[in-house]
């Protein structure tokens, strides 16, 4: 479970450039799928082996400056509530502004580590100008230039030093299912329908993520922890529909889960915010089940379900091997099927395939459809093995790994799915030098 670091500050101080700089290094290695940075405001980074999640609050604000002032207060409060450490970015070109002072007033009351970062310091003159930021009353500051990265090393050293150690939760290894989705999609009703008046609940564990509630659920021979993001206490001053808020909430729950049950409102569709949460789960390599709730409220004929499903699958390409279940939390329609499916996805995610079996099945297929030759060089895949990771990752050993492009990797992934059933689970394919 990684720490969350939030970047706050007024517009145009360079938060996004800094954010991109930090996650780039990592995303470039981890993500072989194109288009994974669809959600520009959330990423993972690590420094000196310490991993943390980074949230750029700036990306959530639209509108004029006066709209912005109210929004920025909300965001800073959110960051204070939700993050483990806060980077407050200011800009040496503009000096201290009224808005910076407002943010500083909020941050001075905080007990969490706050790092004042003066950006765009790229020469000695500007280095002298930066001194005026002492007036914000936040103590020492870090001078950086996020465009070329100078100064970021010292800042990151101090940041990871200050992040609290996350206790690894070593309870019994029960699968963890997180119920996520945008506000009002019916997450609470779904959980109530599952747990209802039934007395099958073993225990209520107080929120392990300090804000989500875990319910140990034991029914029909399934035992697992249900992580409820809907029940997270409402924060005063925060509008429940703030996009940033539900993403921040989902981040914690998703990182903590094995399988995410993504609940969406059938009357609203698979909109941008639901997609953000989907890609968040995909990028964290979690199992995913999509639950289309309130299906009883949709006007339909015998073709509706297929058509609706097709629209969703189009949106989640190339990762389309995901179960989609139409439910009604109110009438309890198919809610048990939702849980059965989540259990299957959990099993798929922890599946281990023998090396001999992998090679017996896939090498003949590769023989028939070898990777395309590149500049007259032939790529030969000699051997395949599954890596010892919590989720399915496969290494294909070959003579020229650098010449195998994404389309062929997708072909290999599809063959793995065809023969070994990884429905609902992101599969990673790596090419290694033999």
DSSP 109: T
Find all residues with CB under 8 Å of 221, minimum gap 6, and list them. none
Answer yes or no: are the C-beta atoms of 173 and 224 closer than 8 Å: no
Question: Phi, psi at residue 23, to the nearest 5°?
Answer: -85, -25
35 is in an annotated binding site: no
279 is in an annotated binding site: no
184 is in an annotated binding site: yes
320 is in an annotated binding site: no
181 is in an annotated binding site: yes
95 is in an annotated binding site: no
Tokens of 135: 């007036």
Tokens of 122: 């790229």
294 is in an annotated binding site: yes
Spell out a b/e string for 39-62, using b for 16 or more CB atoms within 10 Å of the CB, else e.
bebbbbbebeeebbbbbbbbbbbe
276 is in an annotated binding site: no
Question: Phi, psi at residue 73, to the nearest 5°?
Answer: -60, -45
15 is in an annotated binding site: yes
9 is in an annotated binding site: yes
Answer yes or no: are the C-beta atoms of 259 and 349 closer than 8 Å: yes
10 is in an annotated binding site: yes
16 is in an annotated binding site: yes
Show contacts of 135-139: CB within 8 Å, 24+ apart. Answer: 135/96, 136/90, 136/96, 136/100, 136/101, 136/104, 137/104, 137/108, 138/88, 138/104, 138/107, 138/108, 138/114
383 is in an annotated binding site: no
83 is in an annotated binding site: no
359 is in an annotated binding site: no
60 is in an annotated binding site: yes
231 is in an annotated binding site: yes
13 is in an annotated binding site: yes
347 is in an annotated binding site: no
265 is in an annotated binding site: no
121 is in an annotated binding site: yes
188 is in an annotated binding site: yes
Q: Distances from the Cα of 35 to the Cαs of 319, 334, 340, 373, in angstroms?
A: 12, 33, 31, 26
45 is in an annotated binding site: no
187 is in an annotated binding site: yes
228 is in an annotated binding site: yes
Three-state secondary structure call for residue 179 = strand
421 is in an annotated binding site: no
Binding residues: 9-16, 56-60, 119-122, 181-188, 228-232, 293-296
Annotated binding-site members for GTP: 9-16, 56-60, 119-122, 181-188, 228-232, 293-296
């Amino acid at each position: 479970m990684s720490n969350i670091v939030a970047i706050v500050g007024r517009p145009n101080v360079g938060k996004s450039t800094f954010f991109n700089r930090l996650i780039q290094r990592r995303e470039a290695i981890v993500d072989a799928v194109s288009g994974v940075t669809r959600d520009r405001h959330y990423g993972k980074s690590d420094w000196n082996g310490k991993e943390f999640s980074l949230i750029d609050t700036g990306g959530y604000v639209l509108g004029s400056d006066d709209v912005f002032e109210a929004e920025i207060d909300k965001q800073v409060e959110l960051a204070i509530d939700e993050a483990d450490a806060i980077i407050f970015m200011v800009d040496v070109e503009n000096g201290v502004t009224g808005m910076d002072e407002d943010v500083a007033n909020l941050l001075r009351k905080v007990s969490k580590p706050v790092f004042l970062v003066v950006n765009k310091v790229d020469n000695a003159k500007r280095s002298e100008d930066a001194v005026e930021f002492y007036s914000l009353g936040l103590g020492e500051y870090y001078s950086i230039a996020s465009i070329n990265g100078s100064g970021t090393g010292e800042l990151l050293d101090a940041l990871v030093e200050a992040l609290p150690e996350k206790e690894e939760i070593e309870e019994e290894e029960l699968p963890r299912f997180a119920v996520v989705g945008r506000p009002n999609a019916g997450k609470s009703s779904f959980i109530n329908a599952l747990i209802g008046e039934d007395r099958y609940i073993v225990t209520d564990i107080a929120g392990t993520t300090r804000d989500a509630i875990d319910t140990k659920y034991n029914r029909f021979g399934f035992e697992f922890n249900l992580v409820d993001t809907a029940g997270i206490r409402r924060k005063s001053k925060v509008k429940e529909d703030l996009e940033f808020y539900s993403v921040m909430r989902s981040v914690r729950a998703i990182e903590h889960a094995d399988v995410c049950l993504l609940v969406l409102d059938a009357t609203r569709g698979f909109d941008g915010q639901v997609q953000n949460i989907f890609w968040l789960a995909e990028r964290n390599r979690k199992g995913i089940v999509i639950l289309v709730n309130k299906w009883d409220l949709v006007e339909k004929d015998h073709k509706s379900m297929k058509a609706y499903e097709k629209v969703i699958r189009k949106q989640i390409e190339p990762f389309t091997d995901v179960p989609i279940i139409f439910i009604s939390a109110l009438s309890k329609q198919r809610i048990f099927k939702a849980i059965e499916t989540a259990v299957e996805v959990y099993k798929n995610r922890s599946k281990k395939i023998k090396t001999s079996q992998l090679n017996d099945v896939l090498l003949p297929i590769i023989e028939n459809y070898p990777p395309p030759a590149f500049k007259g060089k032939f790529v030969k895949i000699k051997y395949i093995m599954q890596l010892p990771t919590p989720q399915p990752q496969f290494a294909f050993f070959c003579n020229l790994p650098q010449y195998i492009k994404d389309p062929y990797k997708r072909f290999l992934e599809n063959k793995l799915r065809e023969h070994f059933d990884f429905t609902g689970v992101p599969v990673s394919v790596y090419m290694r030098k033999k």
